[in-house]
Amino acid sequence: MSGKAAMKKILGVLEKRFGGLRSLTEDRPLDQLILLLLSRGVAEKKAHEALATLREHFVDWNEVRVSPLHEIEAALSPLGQKGMLDKPTRIRALLSLVYSRFNRVDLDFVRDWSDRKSARKRDRLLMAISDISPGLPPILLAALDGLGAAFRNDPEINRVLTRLGLVKTGGTTPAQWRKSVREAFDDGDQLVLLWGLHLLAASYCRKSLPDCVHCPLKTSCPSADAEMEKVRAAREKAKEKARAEARRIAKKMAAEARKKARETAKREAQERKKREAEERKREARAKKEAEAARKKKAAAKKKAAAEKKRVAAAKKKAATAKKKKAAAAKKKKKAAASKKKASAAKKKTSKKKVTKKKVAKKATGKKKTAKKKAAATRKKVAKVTKRKVAKKPSKASRKKTSSESARGTSKTKKKTSSSSAARRKK
Ligand code: SF4
C-alpha cells in the first residue's frame, strides 16, 4: 500500500471515529469552536443542525453557560443519543472558561493579535481550550491563520506518526510528512486529519501506556503489537510494583501490628502488674482491716469478759455485801439480841444489884439498926452499968445482959442468912 493510500485509510478511520469539520464556515471563533465540539463522532451535517437548534433554544452563549445541562442536552437532540457523548458538559465548560478568563462570552478578540498583548491573550486561550478538547487549538489556528499554521511541528502528532510508521528516524521527517499531506489531501481532508490525529493522540496514543487494544488504528498500526507488549510489560511491572508495594505495606502493617501488639502486651503487662500491686495492696489493707477488726473484736470480747467479770465481781460483791449486810443484820440482830439479852441481863443484874443493894441497904439498915440498937443497948448498958457501977450491979445481972446481947446478934445473923438464901432462890 502506497503512502497516500495508507494515509487515506487512516483518514477514513479517524473521520469515522472522531468526526470533524471539512469546512470552517463560522465567522466568529467561539461559534467555530462550539461547532467543532458538536462535530465529534458525528457527520458534519448533524453538527450544523445541532448548532442551529442551540441558537434557537438560547438567546446567546451566556444563556447556554448558565443553563442546566439537561436543557442543553434537550437543545442538542438532533445529535441523537449516540452522538450526544459529553457534548453538553464540554460546551458549557468552554463557555465558562472563556467567561472566567476573559470576562466575556465571545472570542472575537483573537482575530486581532497584532500587538504582543493580544498575541499573549491568544496563546493563553489556545492553551486553555486544549483542556476542553485537544483538537480545538489546531482547528482554531487553521480558522484564524490557515492550514499552514495549523500543521506545525507538534510533538503529540509526531509521536502518533512515528508509531504509525509514517515518520521514521532516518526516513520521512515530520516536516516531509506535513508537506506530503498538504500536497496529497485537500483542505477538508487536512482539517479532518488534523482533528482526528490530535484526538487520537490524546485519547489512545498517549505518550505512556497507549491504549492500543481500543485504538481504531490498531489493525493498520505497525507498532500496535510492540506497544501492547510494552503496555503489558509496563502493566505487569506496575502490578509487580503494586504487589511489592502491597507486600511492603503489608510488611509495614505487620511490623506496626507487631509493634502495636508488643506495646499492647507491654501496656497490658504493666496494667496487670499495677492491678496485681493494687490487689496486693487491697488484700494487705483487707488483712490489716481484718486484723484490726479481729483485735477490736478480741478487745471487745476482752472488754465484755472484763465487764462480765466486773458484773460477776459486782454481783459477787453485791452478794457478799448482801451476805455481809445479812450477816451484819444477823450480827446486829444477834447484837441486838445479845444487847437485849445483855440489857436484860444488865437489867437483871441491875435489878439484882438493886435487890442486892436493897438487901445490902436493908442489911446495912438492919446492921445500922442493929448497930444503933447495939449502940443504944451499949449506951443503955453503959448507962445501966454506970448506974450499977454507981450501984455496983451483981455478977448475975452482967451475965444476963451479955447473954441477951448475944442472943440479939445471933438473931440478926440468922435473919441475914435467911434473906440471902431467899435472893439466891430467886
Ligand atoms: S495502535 Fe497503538 S501505537 Fe498505533 S496508533 Fe493506535 S494507539 Fe498508537
Instruction: Give the model confidence (pLDDT) of 224-246 as tens digits.
Output: 999 889 888 888 888 888 888 88
CA of 7 to the centre of ligand 1 (A): 14
pLDDT over 60 at 399, yes or no:
no
Contact 29, 107 (CB under 8 A): yes
Contact 343, 389 (CB under 8 A): no
What is the C-alpha separation between 264 and 270, in angstroms, rounded? 10
Residue 154 Cβ contacting ligand 1 at under 6 Å? no
Contacts of 409 (CB under 8 A, 6+ apart): 370, 374
pLDDT over 70 at 395, yes or no:
no
How sure is the predictor about 54, in pLDDT bands with cuts at 50, 70 and 90?
Answer: very high
CA of 261 to the centre of ligand 1 (A): 52
236 or 401: which carries more pLDDT confidence?
236
Q: What is the pTM of this model?
A: 0.59
- Residue of 11, 14, 159, 163 with the most ligand 1 atoms within 8 Å of its CB, for mutation: 163
What is the C-alpha separation between 363 and 360, in angstroms, rounded? 5
What is the C-alpha separation between 105 and 23, in angstroms, rounded? 24
Contacts of 79 (CB under 8 A, 6+ apart): 38, 42, 46, 47, 50, 87
- Residue of 157, 227, 228 with the most ligand 1 atoms within 8 Å of its CB, for mutation: 227
- When mean pLDDT is compared across 16-25, 108-117, 133-142, 284-293, the lowest value belongs to 108-117
Tell me how far CA of residue 308 lies from CA of 72, 282, 288, 298, 372, in angstroms. 111, 37, 29, 14, 85
Dig out the grid coordinates for 228 from the structure. Answer: 501492547
How sure is the predictor about 389, in pLDDT bands with cuts at 50, 70 and 90?
Answer: low
Residue 218 Cβ contacting ligand 1 at under 6 Å? yes
Residue 197 Cβ contacting ligand 1 at under 6 Å? no
pLDDT over 70 at 175, yes or no:
yes
Amino acid identity of 402? S
Q: Is 394 exposed, middle or buried (0-12, 13-18, 19+ CB in 10 A)?
A: exposed
CB environment 173-186: b (16+ within 10 A), e (fewer): ebeebbeebeeebe
3-state class percentages of the chain: helix first, strand second, coil last, to nearest 5: 85, 0, 15
Predicted local distance difference test score (pLDDT) of residue 7:
86
Q: At what angle do helices 136-145 and 187-203 cross, to 10 degrees?
A: 160
What is the C-alpha separation between 49 and 56, in angstroms, rounded? 11
Q: Which of 129, 88, 87 is nearest to 107 (CA)?
A: 129
pLDDT over 80 at 359, yes or no:
no
Q: Which of 185, 201, 73, 183 is nearest to 137 (CA)?
A: 201
What is the C-alpha separation between 291 and 287, in angstroms, rounded? 6
Instruction: Give the model confidence (pLDDT) of 28-51 as tens digits.
Output: 999 999 999 999 989 899 999 999
How many CB atoms are located within 10 Å of the residue 142 CB? 22
Instruction: Give the model confidence (pLDDT) of 59-81 as tens digits.
Output: 999 999 999 999 999 999 888 88
Q: Is the dihedral of CA 252, 258, 264, 269 positive or negative?
A: negative
Predicted local distance difference test score (pLDDT) of residue 191:
92
Dig out the grid coordinates for 81 from the structure. Answer: 443519543
Predicted local distance difference test score (pLDDT) of residue 409:
46
160 or 398: which carries more pLDDT confidence?
160
Helix (H, G, I), strand (E, B) or coil at 40: strand
Closest ligand 1 atom number to CA of residue 224:
1
Dig out the grid coordinates for 400 from the structure. Answer: 444476963
Averaged pLDDT of the chain: 83
Contact 225, 235 (CB under 8 A): no
CA of 148 to the centre of ligand 1 (A): 26
Q: Give me the residue label for grid cell 446492921.
A: 367
Instruction: Give the model confidence (pLDDT) of 363-385 as tens digits.
Output: 666 777 777 777 777 777 777 66
